[in-house]
Amino acid sequence: MPIRKLPPQLVNQIAAGEVVERPSSVLKELLENSLDAGATRIAIDVQQGGIKRLRVVDNGTGIPRDELNLALSRHATSKVGSLEELERVVSLGFRGEALPSIASVSRLKLASRAAGEPNGWSVRGDGGEQFAEPVPLSHPMGTTVEVCDLFFNVPARRKFLRTERTEFSHLHTVVHRLALSRFDVAFELSHNQKAVDQLREAAGPASREARIAAVCGRQFAENAVYLEQAGAGLRLWGWVARPTFSRSQADLQHFYVNGRSVRDKVVTHAVRQAYSDVLYHGRHPAFVLYLELDPTGVDANVHPSKHEVRFRDSRLVHDFLFHTLKQAIAALGPGAPAPAAPAVAGAEFRGPPGAGAGPGTSRPVQQGLPVGQAGVREQLHSYGAMARAAQEIQEADLCSGAAGPEGEGATAPPLGYAVAQLHGVYVLAQNARGLVVVDMHAAHERVTYERLKAAWSSGAVATQPLLVPLTVTMSRREAEAAERRRGQLAELGL
């Protein structure tokens, strides 16, 4: 086959394959355009998970009449004009591919009114190469983009879309992610004519924390601590959850670089290292963090979706994140006082309202009793029984032949025997290898978990109704997952 130039429509559809994966990809591009246009209010209306219709209305600067068709042409943008501007780009979008790519795989209507114009103008596209001349219409200042019948002319791509519920879940995640990046912007989201989110502008600390709670959940807000640290041309601020509020999956991790939501290996590794000493294997920290640095120190032009970035000095960024978070987390350990004063030089730590009542609250330090006092040995052996049971489950490779503390010849369990209690939190035990320190609360949780697994395997999970129902706060995604897994939860006694 000879080499030939591709037709513009095919070029746009190929680009759409990189930029437009599903309705949430469309929404991300449209919202970023609205934010770059200086919008302070954005309304999103969705039908059938965004497959049937997706409309974004903003109050930004708008697009003049003579630039409407240009906005739908490939590689046309107002955000960069030279290599120097590209190297220090501060806008969310800059490639000029989104609108023409979206228009090539949907029925699109673009309406806008710029400052100084008496009325608005609109253009329509039907998945083709050409767009009609703009027609006048009544429109407030700002822009409206309506995308209908996504992938109607690319049926192979449409087959990859999921259910309406799944696609809307992805849309909802995009709205939340951008709502966390811009507290100064109000967001409204409706689905199938039903209001889902109404996030007001959050200018002050209290309203910011209210938005954090609305997006990330009340439990995260109650267990999160504010931090702020600057140095070496970098500034890190945001909220980190106490280690006790860990997750089984990395679903509450939001990281922003100069206002752009990113997934970066350098950032992920630094955060994981900072939490490595305080989280069990398989658990994930929760955080909402913002890193600010000179735009020339980060390259956002790495991937069409702009989810990835490249740092000019990745070692500096990694070490700054690691040391800042490490010291912040150290101030949240068991028995540590609430971080009312800065725990890092130049840093500020502040907990949201109600933080002291959450599960992350430090346990009160109990007065330890000498081992020789009457009744204490029985108590310690009771704690030790919990720890030994958990240790037998987790560390079966430990030696099992050791005499007890009283000199009995009986074979000691793998953990050994409890000999003391520390701060009402830890059990100190001895075995043939030496000293073993066990968090008795964690050990008790593990024993309970293993008993539940054994009961489930035998089909005999004991259940009883609660006298007072327990209310559990969860995200919309978690609630939908609970609905889908109702039968399995019933098997577990819930």
Residues 322 and 416 in one domain: no
Residue 398 has pLDDT above 70, yes or no: no
Domain extent at residue 422: 376-444
Instruction: Identify the helix (H) or strand (E) that includes residue 260.
Output: strand 260-261
Give the pLDDT confidence of 406-416 residue by residue, as tens digits.
444 456 677 77
- Domain shared by 440 and 472, yes or no: no
Across 87-96, 145-154, 441-450, the highest mean pLDDT is recorded for 145-154
305-339 per-position pLDDT tens digit:
677 889 999 999 999 999 999 999 988 855 444 43
* Pair 398, 386: CB distance under 8 Å: no
Lowest mean pLDDT: which of 51-60, 209-218, 275-284?
275-284
Q: Are residues 316 and 338 in the same domain?
A: yes
pLDDT above 50 for 380: no
Residues in Cβ contact with 325 at an 8 Å cutoff, skipping those fewer than 6 apart: 227, 240, 270, 271, 274, 275
* Domain membership flag for residue 399: yes
Confidence (pLDDT) at 345: 34
Residue 302 lies in a domain: yes
CATH number at residue 340: 3.30.230.10
- What pLDDT is recorded for position 285? 94
Q: What is the mean pLDDT of the chain?
A: 82
Same domain? For 30 and 149 the reply is: yes
Secondary structure percentages of the chain, helix, strand, coil, to 5 = 35, 20, 45
- Tell me whether residue 370 is in a domain: no
Q: Is 353 within a domain? A: yes
Let me know if residue 281 belongs to a domain.
Answer: yes
Question: Closest Cα partner for 481 from 280, 215, 251, 288?
Answer: 251
Calculate what percentage of the chain has a pLDDT beyond 70.
82
- Final residue belonging to a domain, choices 196, 223, 240: 196
pLDDT greater than 80 at residue 101: yes
The partner residues of 112 in beta bridges, in order of sequence, read 121, 143
Q: Residue 180: which CATH number? A: 3.30.565.10
Half-sphere exposure of 225 (CA within 13 A, CB side): 30
Is the domain of 242 the same as that of 185? no
User: Does residue 241 register a pLDDT over 50?
Assistant: yes
Q: Is the pLDDT of residue 292 over 90?
A: yes
**Within-domain flag for 190:** yes
Q: Into how many domains does the chain fold?
A: 4
Q: What phi-psi label fits residue 131: left (phi over 0), alpha (psi between -120 and 50 degrees) or beta?
A: beta
* Of the residues 162, 196, 230, the one at which a domain ends: 196
pLDDT of residue 378: 45
Task: Tell me which of 196, 222, 246 is where a domain ends.
Answer: 196
Q: Would you state the pLDDT for residue 427?
A: 87
Q: What is the mean pLDDT of residues 101-114?
A: 93
pLDDT of amino acid 360: 37
- CA 402 to chain centroid, in Å, comes to 48
Would residue 451 count as lying in a domain? no
% of the chain with per-residue pLDDT over 90: 46
| Pair (297, 170) in one structural domain | no
pLDDT at residue 342 is higher than 60: no
If asked whether residues 178 and 232 sit together in one domain, one would say no
Q: Are 398 and 331 members of one domain? A: no
Q: What is the pLDDT of residue 355?
A: 35
Between 451 and 49, the more confident residue is 49
CB contact at 8 A, 61 and 113: no
Is position 363 within any domain?
Answer: no
State mean pLDDT over 235-257: 93
Same domain as 169, residue 21: yes
pLDDT at 10 over 90: no
332 in Cβ contact with 243 (< 8 Å): yes
Q: pLDDT at position 270, please?
A: 96
User: Does residue 118 sit in the same domain as residue 187?
Assistant: yes
Q: Are residues 351 and 428 in the same domain?
A: no
Contact 329, 278 (CB under 8 A): yes
Instruction: Please tell me whether residues 98 and 172 are part of one structural domain.
Output: yes
